[in-house]
Amino acid sequence: MGESQRVRDIMASSLTTLPRESSLLDAAITMRRSSVRHLPVVDGEKLVGIITERDVQRCAPSLLSPITQEEYNATFENTPIERVMFRSPVTVTPDTTVRDAVLLMLDRKVGCLPVVEGERLVGILTRSDLLNLLMSSLPAPAAPSA
């Protein structure tokens, strides 16, 4: 992990996103199908927000409350993600150093950083990407001696 390593070297550029017109149900289904915990919300290619798995869970009605399955489902279907997404996510550029990105994630207590060029979303950097980078830099375990 050199000092000059950039976000572009480790970010995911194959993205799962949601259009801003989506519902909370769309977010929940997309997260489950794609096995992602962070979804950038876009207007075309422009980043307009981010919604996380935690946001979806926070907005779900309590299963202990006296509501029907239909009412529970309706909450997801009728809640626009624009009501619950974070509108001004902390972002980085592809040229941001990995060190600066890590410091930003620690300082802001976020699990991902959308990567933008201008207003155009070009990637996402997650804690998993950083853990994979760390793992690749660790020495392989020694073989057991016979």
Taking only the tens place, the pLDDT of each residue in 83-126 is: 999 998 999 999 999 999 999 999 999 999 999 999 899 999 99
Q: What is d(CA 58, CA 112) in angstroms, rounded to the nearest whole number? A: 18
> How confident is the model at residue 141, as a pLDDT?
81
Fold of 7-136: CBS-domain (3.10.580)
Instruction: Identify the CA nearest to 25 among candidates 79, 83, 86.
Output: 79
> How confident is the model at residue 100, as a pLDDT?
97
Please tell me which residue, 60 or 15, carries the higher pLDDT value: 15
CB 31 within 8 A of CB 56: yes
Task: Read off the amino acid at residue 60.
Answer: A
What are the structure tokens assigned to 99, written together? Answer: 């060190």
Give the predicted TM-score (pTM) of the model.
0.85
Q: Is it the case that residue 143 has pLDDT exceeding 90?
A: no
What are the structure tokens assigned to 53, written together? Answer: 């798995």
Burial class (CB in 10 A: 0-12, 13-18, 19+), 40: buried
Q: Kindly list the domain boundaries of the chain, sorted by start residue.
A: 7-136
